[in-house]
């Protein structure tokens, strides 16, 4: 996903910062109600915090 051609970079689901293409970027892909949903994270730390909060 580093070579994405998106005009506006997505926001991190955890901290809200812009997720620029980089090796730190993480994307969680799920299927919800028959549609593909992408959740973008700017780092492993934000992904881990989001996963931790989701499991509570």
Q: Spell out the per-residue pLDDT of the chain, length 56, in tens.
A: 455 555 788 999 999 999 988 899 999 999 999 999 999 999 999 999 999 998 87
Sequence spans of domains, the chain = 1-56
Q: Could you tell me the pTM of the whole model?
A: 0.78
pLDDT at position 25: 93
User: Which tokens hold the place of 8?
Assistant: 């506006």
Q: How far is CA 6 from the centre of its chain?
A: 14
Determine contact, residues 47/14, Cβ cutoff 8 Å: yes
Distance, CA of 34 to CA of 7 (rounded, Å): 26
Q: Which of 56, 55, 52 has its CA nearest to residue 44?
A: 52
């Amino acid at each position: 996903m580093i070579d994405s051609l998106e005009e506006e970079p997505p926001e991190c689901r955890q901290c809200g910062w812009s997720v620029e293409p980089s090796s730190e970027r993480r994307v969680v892909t799920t299927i919800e109600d028959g549609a593909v949903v992408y959740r973008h994270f700017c780092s492993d730390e934000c992904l881990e915090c989001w996963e931790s909060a989701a499991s509570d």
